[in-house]
């Protein structure tokens, strides 16, 4: 058992012939991920890294069983690629691309609401179940199979959390991405970890801004029984230079690291004030 992906997950890569797609597809194959096909419009019919390349996702679906797709296409075309994958009803869509215009993501999120597909990202490292399947740009070698589930908004912070939990290893690590509009959020990931037999402790790494952590805290109170260790990055960040009031009006002054810590502590979460404390807290729980 693991969350969302395992050794049988068959993967499509959208944007496979680009430099980023090529590099990380090779890394994924080396790790043992079952990447079976790629899409690059205009390059259909060719092969790349010994994999068949198609012009459209729909053609791929006629020829392969696909469980998940990973998207490396440039920012200007990434929303298009996500929507094409939703149209093809691929269950899991992982979008790595950074810098997608926010307004491109609004219709994507609208359409995802009525679809069975799940989106991870964009602007994220991806998802990995150590020793089984790696989808994304995280360094495979730092991970080890184990019983800690990790969910994080930031890329490199996920890696640090992995490093901090190296004594016990990880069940699955999910980087949900830091963009304002993204797919899977903490609540969905916590639910999956709660029901995953291989996960004994959950590490949740949040960031200032937005209210996703506060919402997660509310959810944890009633729906999560497994121990959770949480760190929120940005307690020391000065209030950003900003013009206009709309952001502050809509958040009503919420979203500071202190608000998030308070909400999580009320929900019984083990909070740590520096990321160096993550490992210690996890070790204590699993001792």
Catalytic residue numbers, as ranges = 245
Return the range that interacts with another protein (CB under 8 A); candidates 10-18, 50-58, 104-112, 190-198. 104-112
Contact flag: residue 62 with another protein (CB under 8 A): no
Residues in Cβ contact with 253 at an 8 Å cutoff, skipping those fewer than 6 apart: none
Q: Which of 62, 65, 238, 287 binds another protein (CB under 8 A)?
A: 238
Residue 123 CA to chain centroid, in angstroms? 9
For the bound state, the minimum distance from the C-beta of residue 188 to another protein, rounded and expressed in Å, comes to 14
Contact flag: residue 233 with another protein (CB under 8 A): yes
Nearer to another protein, 12 or 137 (CB): 137
Residues 139-198 that bind another protein (CB under 8 A): 139, 141-142, 152-157, 159-160, 163, 178, 180-181
Q: Which residues pair with 128 in a beta bridge?
A: 134, 173
Quick one: tokens of 105? 């993501």
Quick one: tokens of 58? 């729909």
Contact flag: residue 248 with another protein (CB under 8 A): yes
Main-chain phi, psi angles of 116, to 5 degrees = -90, -10
With contact defined as beta carbons under 8 Å apart, do 90 and 112 qualify? no
Which residue, among 236, 232, 235, 238, has the nearest Cα to 277 in the 3D structure?
A: 232
Within 10 A of 242 (CB to CB), how many other CB atoms are there? 9
Cis peptide before 105 (omega within 30 of 0): no
For the bound state, the minimum distance from the C-beta of residue 197 to another protein, rounded and expressed in Å, comes to 29
Which residue, among 278, 158, 196, has the nearest Cα to 230 in the 3D structure?
A: 278
Return the range that interacts with another protein (CB under 8 A); candidates 43-51, 64-72, 95-103, 127-135. 95-103
| Burial of 145: CB neighbours in 10 Å, binned 0-12, 13-18, 19+ | middle
Number of residues this chain uses to bind another protein (CB under 8 A): 63
Q: Which of 109, 167, 221, 266 binds another protein (CB under 8 A)?
A: 109
For the bound state, the minimum distance from the C-beta of residue 61 to another protein, rounded and expressed in Å, comes to 26
Nearer to another protein, 149 or 279 (CB): 279
For the bound state, the minimum distance from the C-beta of residue 155 to another protein, rounded and expressed in Å, comes to 4
Written as one string, the DSSP assignment of 218-243 is HHHHHH--S-EEEEEETTTPPPPP--
With contact defined as beta carbons under 8 Å apart, do 84 and 56 qualify? yes
For the bound state, the minimum distance from the C-beta of residue 171 to another protein, rounded and expressed in Å, comes to 20
Tokens 């993550």 correspond to: 278
Nearer to another protein, 9 or 152 (CB): 152
Contact flag: residue 103 with another protein (CB under 8 A): yes
Per DSSP, 238 falls in state: P
Nearer to another protein, 116 or 141 (CB): 141
For the bound state, the minimum distance from the C-beta of residue 195 to another protein, rounded and expressed in Å, comes to 25
Contact flag: residue 253 with another protein (CB under 8 A): yes
Binding site residues, another protein, CB under 8 A: 23, 27, 75-76, 99-107, 109-110, 125, 137-139, 141-142, 152-157, 159-160, 163, 178, 180-181, 205, 207-211, 231, 233-238, 240-250, 252-253, 273-276
């Amino acid at each position: 058992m693991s969350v969302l992906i395992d050794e049988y997950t068959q993967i499509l890569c959208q944007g496979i012939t680009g430099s980023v797609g090529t590099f990380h597809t090779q890394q994924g194959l080396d790790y043992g991920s079952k990447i079976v096909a790629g899409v690059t419009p205009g390059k259909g019919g060719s092969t790349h890294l010994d994999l068949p390349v198609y012009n459209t996702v729909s053609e791929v679906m006629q020829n392969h069983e696909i469980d998940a797709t990973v998207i490396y296409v440039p920012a200007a075309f990434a929303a298009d690629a996500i929507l094409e994958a939703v149209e093809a009803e691929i269950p899991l869509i992982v979008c790595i691309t950074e810098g997608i215009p926010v307004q491109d993501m609004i219709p994507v999120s609208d359409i995802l609401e009525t679809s069975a597909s799940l989106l991870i990202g964009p602007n994220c490292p991806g998802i990995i179940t150590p020793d089984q399947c790696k989808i994304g740009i995280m360094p495979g070698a730092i991970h080890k199979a184990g019983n800690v589930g990790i969910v994080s908004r930031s890329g490199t912070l996920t890696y640090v959390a992995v490093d901090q939990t190296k004594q016990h290893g990880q069940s699955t690590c999910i980087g949900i991405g830091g963009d304002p509009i993204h797919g899977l959020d903490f609540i969905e990931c916590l639910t999956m970890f709660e029901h995953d037999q291989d996960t004994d402790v959950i590490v949740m790494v949040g960031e200032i801004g937005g209210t996703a952590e506060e919402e997660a805290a509310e959810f944890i109170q009633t729906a999560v029984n497994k121990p959770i260790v949480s760190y929120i990055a940005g307690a020391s960040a000065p209030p950003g230079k900003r013009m206009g009031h709309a952001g502050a009006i809509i958040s009503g002054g919420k979203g500071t690291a202190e608000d998030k810590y308070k909400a999580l502590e009320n929900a019984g979460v083990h909070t740590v004030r520096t990321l160096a404390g993550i490992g210690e807290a996890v070790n204590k729980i699993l001792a």
